[in-house]
Amino acid sequence: MQKWSRRRAQLSLLASLFTLILISSILSNHTSKTIHSPADQPPSFPTHTTSFNNSLQSTDEWLPGGPGWSRACSSPRNYKPRRGALAEEREWWKGRSLGGSCDLFSGRWVYDERSYPLYNESECPWMSDQLACRKHGRPEEQYKHWRWQPQGCELKRWNAWEMLEKLRGKRLMFVGDSLNRGQWISMVCLLQSLIPAGKKSMSPNAALTIFKIEEYNASVEFYWAPLLVESNSDDPVNHRLDDRIIRPDTLLKHASQWEDADILVFNSYLWWRSGPKIKLLWSSEYLTCEEADGLDAMRLAMETWADWVSSRADPRKQRVFFVTMSPTHLWKREWSPGSEGNCFQETAPIDREGYWGSGSDLDTMRMVDNVLTTLSSKVTVLNITQLSEYRKDGHPSIYRKFWERLSPEQLSNPVSYSDCIHWCLPGVPDVWNELLFNLL
């Protein structure tokens, strides 16, 4: 482990520069237009109360991301942690035992052509053009045939009928960014073929998008909140990755959308990892604006989220999951020393046990670990980072739809625009959902 830590340190400067550029372009412009957009509707922006100053909140200025936000944040101060946040983190890695002998999240990938994929890409009407890799020309399909084999135990195989029973009368809601949206689309595709036409429906693409399963009175929903707290990136179409302003202590508008869901699956990570510093517009200290690096800002958001979970989620009625960092594969030399490139043209998983790339930030994992520890049994962790680390072959690379026009220079150098962040479907997110199925 020490070896890769050192290596990671060497790479991290360059890597952060590059991730900045790559992630910015991949996350900011396409995440929005990913799903089925027959009539790409303007997103409806729920205008719920925030905890903003009442005398101002009625004006457009102060709507999320409105001019008021920018004005308040025109010359931010540097953020200083208010509590001993850093000290807390020294204590991590006290070996969070998962209880029992089996850790579903450590194991290996086994090639299994017979039982995987669990559904057909072309038969899922809600497949995203961002993730439909065969449709966009991916020449081989081994990436669809991998099964996750935990060490020392068996994963209960995906059973869509059983999942539907678990969902009967319930709302399952995914909340987060485009990675979580990929997991939501995977879940929709995993279930939808069992439901006859006319008994299922998808609401138009908006901040909250709902797949309804009539006979089961169930729904599988996705709510766009890439930074968990309120921010100027809450519009699923118009993002501002380059000038993020978050309300670190405010998520009531979001919570009003998710609070009635029975099963909540949250994620957040990559939006904190790229771009310049993040501005913090506090509501407790009205009109003060600070700026912080991604990790500090994410910690604040996670703490606000954790406050919501501990005070508002009802463990008797609600299950809450948190999905850990989704790895990226932007640097081929990390798994194949001496090579140039990224995930483009990778067709097999990494077979080095414990492989960990620079895209999965250990400090973030520690921070998340600490926050989740404070919530103990109220949140179940879907610790997908290590298992997904192996899957350098699982990304769309160039085999997806790109909404902006690619220049001739880009086209002549496919590595330059490969998407090594999202995941092809069928593929890795199906396994995340199998794990969710096992833990429900």
Ligand X SMILES: *[C@@H]1O[C@H](CO)[C@@H](O)[C@H](O)[C@H]1NC(C)=O
Residue 265's H or E segment, with its range, is strand 263-267
433: contact with ligand X by CB under 6 A: no
What is the rounded CA–CA span in Å between residue 188 and residue 199?
14
Give me the residue label for tokens 């550029």: 21
Query: Any alpha helices (H) in 280-328, and if so which ranges?
Result: 294-312
CA–CA separation, 210 and 234 (whole Å): 17
Determine the interface stretch with ligand X among 52-60, 271-279, 334-342, 394-402 (rule: CB under 6 A).
Answer: 52-60
Question: How far is Cα 286 from Cα 52, in angstroms, rounded to an integer?
Answer: 8
Which one among 25, 288, 310, 410 touches ligand X, defined by CB under 6 A?
25
Interaction residues for ligand X, span 370-429 (CB under 6 A):
372, 381, 383, 385-386, 404
**Interface with ligand X in residues 275-294 (CB under 6 A):** 286
Decide if 35 contacts 209 (C-beta within 8 A). Answer: yes
Tokens 């439901």 found at: 195
Residue 332: helix, strand or coil by DSSP?
Answer: helix
Looking up tokens 């833990």 gives 439
Could you identify the residue written with the tokens 């600490």?
Answer: 370
C-beta of 140 vs 339, nearer to ligand X: 140
Complex with ligand X: residue 106 or 345, whichever CB lies closer: 106
Size of the site for ligand X (CB under 6 A): 25
Per CB under 6 A, contacts with ligand X among 330-349 are none
Determine the interface stretch with ligand X among 50-58, 174-182, 184-192, 345-353 (rule: CB under 6 A).
50-58
C-alpha distances in angstroms, 224 versus 186, 193, 215, 270, 420? 16, 25, 26, 14, 21
**Segment interacting with ligand X, rule: CB under 6 A, options 127-135, 149-157, 181-189, 361-369:** 361-369
Distance CA 432, CA 440 (A): 12
377 is catalytic: no
Q: Decide whether 2 or 78 has the Cβ nearer to ligand X.
A: 2
**DSSP bridge pairs for 323:** 267, 382
422 catalytic per annotation: yes
96 binds ligand X (CB under 6 A): yes
Give the binding range for ligand X (CB under 6 A) out of 288-296, 297-305, 331-339, 363-371. Answer: 363-371
Catalytic residue, candidates 129, 249, 369, 419: 419
Question: How close are the terminal C-alpha atoms of the chain, in Å?
Answer: 32
Cβ of residue 375: shortest distance to ligand X, in angstroms?
Answer: 11
Give SS3 for 388. helix
Of the two residues 59 and 339, which places its CB atom closer to ligand X in the complex? 59
Of 53, 151, 159, 201, which lies in the binding site for ligand X, with binding defined by CB under 6 A?
Answer: 53
Which residue of 265, 365, 379, 428 would you call a contact of ligand X, by CB under 6 A? 365
Rounded-to-integer distance, Cα 409 and Cα 398, Å:
14
Give least dist CB 360 to ligand X, A: 9
Check residue 345 and report its DSSP letter: T
Catalytic residue among 32, 178, 186, 219: 178
37 contributes a contact to ligand X by CB under 6 A = no
Q: Which is nearer to ligand X, 268 or 385 (CB)?
A: 385
Q: How far is the CB of 338 from ligand X (least distance, A)?
A: 26
| Position among 19, 22, 28, 300 found at the interface with ligand X (CB under 6 A) | 28
The sign of the torsion formed by the CA atoms of 335, 133, 360, 371 equals negative
Interhelix angle 362-375/294-312, rounded to 10 degrees, is 20
Q: Among residues 30, 254, 395, 422, which one is catalytic?
A: 422
Could you say which residues in the range 143-182 bind ligand X, by CB under 6 A?
Answer: 169-171
Query: Does the footprint of ligand X cover residue 24 (CB under 6 A)?
Result: yes
Residue position matching structure tokens 């039982």: 115
Nearest to ligand X of 80, 405 (CB atom): 405
Residue tagged 């490139």 (tokens): 341
Give the number of C-alpha atoms closer than 13 A to the C-alpha of residue 179, restricted to the C-beta side: 28
Annotation says 363 is catalytic = no
Residue 77, Ramachandran bin (φ over 0: left; ψ between -120 and 50: alpha; else beta) = beta
Binding site for ligand X (CB under 6 A): 24-25, 28-29, 53, 55-56, 96, 119-120, 169-171, 217, 286, 324, 365, 368-369, 372, 381, 383, 385-386, 404
Which sequence positions are flagged as catalytic? 178, 419, 422
